[in-house]
Each structure stands twice: as C-alpha cells, then as structure tokens.
Amino acid sequence: MCPDNGIEKSIWCKGIEVTPAYLEMVIKYFLDQKYEVVSLDQLVMVLNSKKVDKKYVVFTFDDGYVDNFTFAYPIFKKYNIPFTIYITSGFIDRQAIMWWHSLSDLLFDNKKISFELDNKKYDFDCSTIEGKERAYLNIGFLLRGCNESELADKAGKIFNLFKIDAYKKTDELVLSWDQIKKLNKDPLVTIGAHTINHLVLKNLSGADVKKEILGSKTMLESQLNYEIKHFAYPNGGRGEVEKREFEIAKESGFITATTTRSANVFLEHRNHLECLPRFDMAEGIGHKELQFLTSGLTHCLRNRFKRVITL
C-alpha cells in the first residue's frame, strides 16, 4: 500500500501499491457483491468440503510492508474480515534488501547513472521519465536473477557508489517483529512465510530453495511461537517458480502456497494446494473491471482456455 499522497516517488513500484481508499473500495465491492471474505484456513475447509454454494474471496499481502499494519489492518478491523500477510523474514531481520525501492530512489534522484559490474560498464541517461524507466528495467534485470551472494555483491556495488543504504530503506518500509507479533495475536490475521531473501527461486540450487522456503517458516515460528501453515512464492510467476519449488513447499509442511499466476481458485485446487493462483489488485481497477476479472474470463483467455491453473 502507499499513502494517498505517496505515489509519485515510487513510480516504478506503482504496480504493487494501492492507496487505503482504493483498498476500502475493493473490500466494499466484494461485500456488496455478496462474497464471503475468508482466511486461507477457511479456504482450505471450503475446498475440502467439495461443495461451493457461494462466492469467496481471500485477501493477501506480500513481503511484510509496515503499511499493512498502519493502513490496511484498521480497514480489515473496521469490516471485521480476515486477511493474510506473507513475511520475507530477511527483510525484518536486516539480512535482505528491498532493492527495487532503493533502485527507485536512485533513479528518482539522479539524471545519469554509471557503474561497472563484472568488468562491464553501464551508463544510463536518467534525465527523462522514459530514461528512468529504461534504466529501472535494465538494472532490475541485472539484480532480479541473482542468488543471495550475487545480489549482495551487485546491489552493494551499485548502491554504495551512490551512498544509498538499502538496509535503511528496507527498515523504513517493513514491519517490526513487535508489529508482526501484535498482528499474529488477532484471529483476523494470518501470518504466512515468503522466504528469507525474496529471490527468484527457479534460479537457485535445490538446497538454496529449501533453505529459503523452510528457513522463513522456521524463523517466523521461533519468533511467534506459532505454526506457520501458509506460504507465497516470491515473484511467483511462470519461469520464476515451477514443479521443484511446489514440491519443496509441500515437503516443508505448508498447507497452502500461492503463486502470482493469474486465475480464480476452483474446487479442483484442493488437489493442488501448493500452487494456488491469485490475481493482483492495482490502483485504478474499477467496479466493471473487477466484475470482468472475477468472472474468470480474462484469466481463461490469458491461460489459453485452461480453467484450473496450477503449473
């Protein structure tokens, strides 16, 4: 989420942010349309009951942003409806960085970016919005596919050059353990895991995938003294997580795991709880588009008429 006046500087993260007013509009839409808002545990019960006699919706937030506590939580409390926050434990522990926000700041504050990585020189003209967007895509591409040590090395080299403390930026944006503990005490809130470092899992070795998935579960459980049953794959699209990751999430003891593959959940998904699809909410999607999206038609077309999306 972002404050109503906070969109400008985070222009490159706009696809993942909504304002509190927009969130409330979306909640009202689903309630007006007679959807029942359920938790992930309740969703599993519905799927296992093998009978769906009404429409259900589950709200989830990824990464562990502090505004989930300051802005979203009061709204869900107001309507007395459940929601889930998937936590990337390394962000809270100051082990991992939200590099995309630091990159946003770097591009916003500079008209020209030059650096050297692996003996290759990179120069970006960031004097225009188009130039900044191009630079974001290119530098993002360099960082997105990294494993933990490569990311620390590459992001460190870029951000240090411009005196940007990416850990400080991440600290400003994420929940504290105290806030997570407070949220976890509320039956309306489900805390789920979202790996340690928020890397593209498909690019990692099997051992590293296991460490990322199980490590975040173990860390959350030791902090909260509570079993963590739900997981979301970071990034989570096609080419970013596949069968190997689904198996590892299942073996790690999660009841559900969600991707970012865009589709509705159907009864058949009770046999595929380790790869439940979701769809993004982006600021500006109005009632008509919501109706169209939830009808499943867009996803059906996007997924070549395949109804039940798993792999």
What does the chain come to in residues?
311
Give 60 or 110: the residue with its C-beta nearer to Zn ion: 60
Told to check if 234 binds Zn ion by CB under 5 A, we report yes
Which of 63, 67, 245, 274 binds Zn ion (CB under 5 A)? It is 63
98 vs 189 by CB, closer to Zn ion: 98
- Asked if 198 and 96 touch (Cβ cutoff 8 Å), the reply is yes
# of chain residues touching Zn ion (CB under 5 A): 3
The string of DSSP codes covering 126-178 is: -SSHHHHHHHHHHHHHHHHT--HHHHHHHHHHHHHHTT--HHHHHHHHBPPHH
240 near Zn ion, judged by CB under 5 A: no
Q: Among residues 216 and 252, whose Cβ is nearest to Zn ion?
A: 216
Rounded Cα distance, 127 and 270, in Å:
51
How near is the Cβ of 89 to Zn ion at its closest, in Å? 12
Q: Which stretch binds Zn ion (CB under 5 A): 47-55, 94-102, 226-234, 278-286?
A: 226-234
Of residues 60 and 298, the one with the C-beta less far from Zn ion? 60
Least distance in Å: CB of 194 to Zn ion?
6
Beta 112-117 vs 120-125: how paired, if at all?
antiparallel
Kind and range of the H or E run holding 220:
helix 206-224
Which of 27, 29, 31, 22 lies closest to 1 in space, CA to CA? 22
In the complex, the smallest distance separating the C-beta of residue 234 from Zn ion, rounded to whole angstroms, is 4
Contact call for residue 62 and Zn ion (CB under 5 A): yes
Which residue lies nearest Zn ion, judged by its C-beta? 62
- Which listed range, 59-67, 141-149, 171-179, 214-222, lies at the site for Zn ion (CB under 5 A)? 59-67
Torsion of CA 101, 105, 108, 112, to 10 degrees: -110
Q: Nearer to Zn ion by C-beta: 17 or 62?
A: 62
Q: How far is the CB of 62 from Zn ion (least distance, A)?
A: 4
How are beta strands 35-37 and 55-57 bridged, if at all? parallel
Pair of tokens at residue 297 = 């038609």
CB of 198 to Zn ion, least distance (A): 6
Choice between 126 and 175, CB closer to Zn ion:
175
Stretch that binds Zn ion, among 3-11, 27-35, 36-44, 63-71 (CB under 5 A): 63-71
Phi, psi for residue 44 in degrees, rounded to 5: -60, -40
For 26-151, where are the E strands, in sequence order? 35-37, 55-57, 60-63, 83-87, 112-117, 120-125
Report the residue number, 211 or 278, with the smaller CB distance to Zn ion: 278
Q: In what order do the strands lie in the sheet with 83-87?
A: 60-63, 83-87, 189-193, 230-232, 256-262, 276-278
Tell me how far, at minimum, the Cβ of 169 lies from Zn ion, in Å. Answer: 16
Residues that bind Zn ion (CB under 5 A): 62-63, 234
